[in-house]
């Protein structure tokens, strides 16, 4: 509740056009994340950023522009963080998948991506542009890498062709559950990230059923 940055007797008159936008965006992310677009108060954002309400308007044209900047920044951060993981598709398929999934969880746990997701879920309907950009950038790019891994795995005989392998998103899919539960019920139920991750990998690698049980129709 008292999240106001509290810089402790701030030196009244700071001038630093350089860092302001970042500070505002950080404060904005927090606020939009917690209250959604309509619920967000420029008042609080300004206060968190340690500036006056009017000063916001020196950096962003209006609430919507600020929101767009926040969303952009969050997405950008996400992309950057993923970028260097996707470089080489080498080694065993098992390793590749494991590395990707682990990266995923590392990102998910970070505040940022939950924030993006929550914002997209809450305000998406109102900001088709935002949704579209996010979709184009994230979804498409991630999928291509996954597809490549799967195809290569099938070609190398490491992956069993079948319905699952047709859907590249199936690889990260279970993680979404963790993300949502963490986001919504975080206060009530702490899912152990490591345990969940192991379960996820185990599912991916081995499947659930024993060979015998599979054929028991």
Partner DNA sequence: CATGAATGAGTCTTCATTCAT
Partner DNA sequence: GATGAATGAAGACTCATTCAT
In the region spanning residues 14 to 33, those forming contacts with DNA, defined by CB under 7 A, are 14-17, 20
Residue 188 contacts a second copy per CB under 8 A: yes
Q: How far is the CB of 210 from a second copy (least distance, A)?
A: 5
Query: Most distant CA pair in the chain: distance in Å?
Result: 75
Beta-carbon neighbour count of residue 121 at 10 Å? 12
Residue 166 tokens, joined = 């047709």
Which among DNA, a second copy, none contacts residue 148 (Cβ within 5 to 8 A by kind)? none
Q: How far is the CB of 180 from DNA (least distance, A)?
A: 27
Query: Residues 66, 56: contact at Cβ < 8 Å?
Result: yes
Q: How far is the CB of 67 from DNA (least distance, A)?
A: 9
Residue 5 contacts DNA per CB under 7 A: yes
How far apart are the C-alpha atoms of 169 and 164, rounded to whole Å? 9
Query: Residues 191, 181: contact at Cβ < 8 Å?
Result: yes
Residues 6+ apart with CB under 8 A from 53: 42, 43, 46
Residue 217 tokens, joined = 């129709």
Number of residues that bind DNA (CB under 7 A): 27
Q: How far is the CB of 134 from DNA (least distance, A)?
A: 22
Residues 6+ apart with CB under 8 A from 161: 154
Residue 9 contacts DNA per CB under 7 A: no
Which among DNA, a second copy, none contacts residue 117 (Cβ within 5 to 8 A by kind)? a second copy
Residue 129 contacts a second copy per CB under 8 A: no
Residue 110 contacts a second copy per CB under 8 A: no
Return the number of the residue (89 or 203) whose C-beta is nearest a second copy. Answer: 203
Which residue is listed with tokens 């079948």?
Answer: 162
Write down how long the chain is.
Answer: 217
How far apart are the C-alpha atoms of 73 and 217, rounded to whole Å? 51
**Among 111, 144, 169, 190, which residue sits at the site for a second copy (rule: CB under 8 A)?**
169
Q: Which helix (H) or strand (E) holds 94?
A: helix 93-109
**Among 4, 53, 135, 141, which residue sits at the site for a second copy (rule: CB under 8 A)?**
135
Residue 200 contacts a second copy per CB under 8 A: yes
Which among a second copy, DNA, none contacts residue 141 (Cβ within 5 to 8 A by kind)? none
Point out which residues bind DNA (CB under 7 A).
1-2, 4-5, 12-17, 20, 40-43, 51-58, 61-64
């Amino acid at each position: 509740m008292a999240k106001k940055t509290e810089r402790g007797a701030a030196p009244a008159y700071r001038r630093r056009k350089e860092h302001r936008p970042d500070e505002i965006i950080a404060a904005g992310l927090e606020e939009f994340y917690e209250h959604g677009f309509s619920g967000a108060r420029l008042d609080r954002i300004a206060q968190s950023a340690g500036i006056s309400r009017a000063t916001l308007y020196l950096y962003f044209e209006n609430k919507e522009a600020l929101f767009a900047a926040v969303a952009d920044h969050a997405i950008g951060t996400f992309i950057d963080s993923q970028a260097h993981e996707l470089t080489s598709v080498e080694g065993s398929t098992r390793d590749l998948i494991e590395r990707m999934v682990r990266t995923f969880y590392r990102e998910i746990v970070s505040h940022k991506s939950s924030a993006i997701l929550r914002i997209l879920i809450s305000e998406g309907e109102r900001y088709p542009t935002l949704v579209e950009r996010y979709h184009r950038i994230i979804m498409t790019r991630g999928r291509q890498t996954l597809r490549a891994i799967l195809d290569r795995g099938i070609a190398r005989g490491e992956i069993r062709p079948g319905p699952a392998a047709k859907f590249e998103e199936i690889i990260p899919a279970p993680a979404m559950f963790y993300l949502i539960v963490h986001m919504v019920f975080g206060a009530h139920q702490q899912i152990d990230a490591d345990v969940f991750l192991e379960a996820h990998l185990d599912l991916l690698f081995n499947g659930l059923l024993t060979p015998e049980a599979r054929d028991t129709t």
